[in-house]
Each structure stands twice: as C-alpha cells, then as structure tokens.
Amino acid sequence: MPAPDGRPRLLILGGTGEARALAAALAEAGDIDFVTALAGRTSAVAGLPGHVRRGGFGGATGLAAYLAAEAIDLVVDATHPFATQISAHAVVACEQSGVERLVLDRPAWRPTAGDRWTEVATLAEAASLLPRYGRRVFLTIGRQGLAAFATGDDLWFLARVAEPPDAPLPLGDCRVIAARGPFDVAAERRLLEENAIDVLVCKASGGTATDGKLIAARALDLPVIMIRRPPPPPGPRVTGVGAALDAVRTMLDALPCREETPVS
C-alpha cells in the first residue's frame, strides 16, 4: 500500500551492517518511508529500525510484483557483496518496473606489507589448497558452502557461523562457534592462537566489521586464503551511509512527482 502521507518509499535489501546503519539514519531523518527486506534465514532483526519484511520475494518476478504493490520509488541494494542472486534479481525487477536502484557497497580489502594472501575464485579451489598450508583451519565463510571443505583430507576446522547451527555441519573434525561481528583484533588473535590455527579461509567481504582476523593473521604471519569478490551489480554505487543518504535524496528528487494518495 503506498505511503498515505506522500513520503517517498524506499526498499532496502538488507542483511548487512550497512543496511542496518542506513535504516537507522533514515529513521532518524524521518522524511522517507522505508522497509528493510531480509532473507529471513537468521534471527538478526532485533533492534532494526523501521519496517522489516522477512523472506524471499519469489525471484525477480516476485520482487517486481512487490515493488508495484508497495509503490516503491527506489531500491537500495545494501546486501552482502557475495549475495549475488538477490542483487541480480533486483537488477531485473527494477528494470522491468522502471524503479531506480542504488547499490550500497562496502570498501574492498587490500593486502598490505606482511599479508600472506592467496586469492582464489571458488570455495573448491580454497579447499584444494589447504593441505599445503597446514592442518588446522579457521573457516569464516558462513554456513553455506561448508560442504566444499569436506574433502576427506586430514584437516581440523574452527568454523565460525552467525547462529548456532540446528544440524551438524558437513565438516569432519571441527569445532563450531556462533558469533556475529564486529570482531576486535585482540580477540581474533586470541582465537587464532588458542586454536593453533595454521591457515585462515575467508570471503573478501570488505569493510571494517570483520577485518580484525586479517590484522591478527598478519601479526601472527599466518597465510590467508581469500575467496575473491564477485563483480558488483551494475548501476550507481556508493560506499558509506552518508554517501548513500545523499545519493538517495538526489535520486528521489530527480523522480517525477507522484500524486498523494488520499487518506480515507
């Protein structure tokens, strides 16, 4: 149902700290009506400002139908850089619906002196490299994709996931910890040392919430196998909530005026 007060309507595709920060900034400003959409796989809704919608849309077609039904003026894709499916759906749905779309991206990580990173394209490639680096592996790739590491090699895993798993993970010898970022460097270093980690595997997610493990790995001279980021979705892209707010206002100002829906 369109916003009855004539405020523009925004859909934030969320599931990230950036989406949460944007929602907080929009809630404080109060001049834009917005809803944050979450895939709904975790319980990370607590304290999220504004309206929240949980669950998939049913592909690009379902998302396009939602945009029309809710009279959405602008979509901000603030999803994780590795959430490629929902981003691709947003591209198609917005094109079909004639709705503007902005990507809220995260700054990429860059190796600095002392980093021992090996970049790979896939989880399978990361798994195949592990035996040459050691036996004890810290895996921070999330829950999906863990099966790629069930290779039968004689490896031990410390697997960090966002929430306690409701079923055993598809890894052999492992310890599972459930925790959400941000993680600080000292705690990450302790974790690596206490678990005698030989090698770290992570996604090139970027940003500052989860880079503590990389700083700790550098300090301990540990190798890191980094899954490369997929290419970003096309179209206008900003990093940082301040830049996103500015871009949102500019894009909304450029839209043709919409008639207010009378309040019955």
Write out the residues near ligand NAP by the rule CB under 6 A: 13-16, 37-39, 56-59, 62-63, 79-80, 82-86, 89, 142, 203
Nearer to ligand NAP, 68 or 131 (CB): 68
Nearer to ligand NAP, 79 or 97 (CB): 79
| Residue 228: CB minimum distance to ligand NAP, A | 13
The radius of gyration of the chain from alpha carbons, rounded to an integer in Å, stands at 21
Q: Which residue is nearest to ligand NAP (CB)?
A: 56
Nearer to ligand NAP, 65 or 134 (CB): 65
| Residue 59: CB minimum distance to ligand NAP, A | 5
| Residue 191: CB minimum distance to ligand NAP, A | 19
| Residue 259: CB minimum distance to ligand NAP, A | 29
Nearer to ligand NAP, 160 or 203 (CB): 203
